[in-house]
Structure 1
Amino acid sequence: MKLVPIYRVRTFVVPEYLENVIKGVLQIDDLKYGNYKNVAWHSSEGVEQFVPSEDAVPTEGEVGGRTKVTSIRLEFSIPKDDMLLKRIIEEGIYPNHPWDEPVVQVTEEREARKHM
């Protein structure tokens, strides 16, 4: 067993764009985890809410009005590599996500790997 430093990346996306975001990320990295690739987790549907500000360009809802939409939490891990992280967010998630400002959360963690 080895503990490996990683970035855990989470984003929330409407169901009809989930596969687009996953495919966009996989064009940058194959999301390898031990002896497996294309490893990602996603939740069942939940609810996301927001109020677009005057500077927003909302895909859903209107400026100043509260909007609620169905959303799925997508999560995956990558090696702790700043350039890879930047490419995944800027080239994999942003162009394939429908929102003007997608929620993308990144944490630094360590994962236990049985097989390297």
Structure 2
Amino acid sequence: MTLPRLTNPRFQTEQGFRVTVQVPELHSQKIIDAVLAVANLKYGDYDRVTFSTDSGSQQFRSLGSGRNAATDDVMAVPCVEVSFFLPDDEADTIKVLTQVYAAHPYEEPVVFVAPCLRCLHVRGTDEDNPNRFWNSDPEDWVPHEHR
């Protein structure tokens, strides 16, 4: 799939992969830590950038062809989705996915790797924008170091 360049003065784009991993919530930080052991997950002027959803429900039924016995009914497990961006580098992506599989508690983890285009700000642009957190009273989510 060919992704557009979206050339403009406000942001720049970079091609890569959006990785999404469904995992029981108690194991989500273990997945993130495993990924960070081999990738810094840099996003512009920041690193270690990941996203986790609120808990949802993942459903499955074992067919019995793997390690686990077949189940008659569908099982439901509370899970979150952890996602992050990887630059378009096959060797590094394989390293990261290998870490995900090693740290995941499932026999068959649900992992999606999709080509994507991320947008990165042009440093120094729009810094006087009144919507930027540093141009208003600090909100609760703003780290103390940035107030």
Alignment of 1:10-49 (within 5 A): 10-49=20-59
Matched, 1:56 2:66: yes
Structure 1 stretches of 4+ moved >6 Å: none
> TM-score scaled by structure 2?
0.72
Equivalent residue for 1:2?
A: 12
Structure 1 gaps of 5+ residues are: none
Whichever residue aligns with residue 95 of structure 1, its letter is A
Equivalent residue for 1:96?
A: 103
Counterparts of 1:41 and 1:115, CA distance in 2: 22
Counterparts of 1:37 and 1:19, CA distance in 2: 16
Matched, 1:81 2:89: yes
> TM-score scaled by structure 1?
0.91
CA RMSD of aligned residues (A): 1.3
CA contact (8 A) 1:7 1:106 kept: yes
Shift, 1:114, TM fit: 1.2
Structure 2 gaps of 5+ residues are: 1-10, 124-147
Structure holding more strand per residue: 1
SS in 2 for 1:21: helix
SS in 1 for 2:27: helix
Shift, 1:47, TM fit: 0.2
Post-superposition Cα deviations, 1:64-106, rounded to whole Å, max 9, x if no partner, equal 232101000110001011111111111x201110000101101
Counterparts of 2:104 and 2:64, CA distance in 1: 21
Higher RCO, Cα 8 Å, sep 6+: 1
Equivalent residue for 1:114?
A: 121
CA contact (8 A) 1:5 1:79 kept: yes
Higher gyration radius (CA): 2
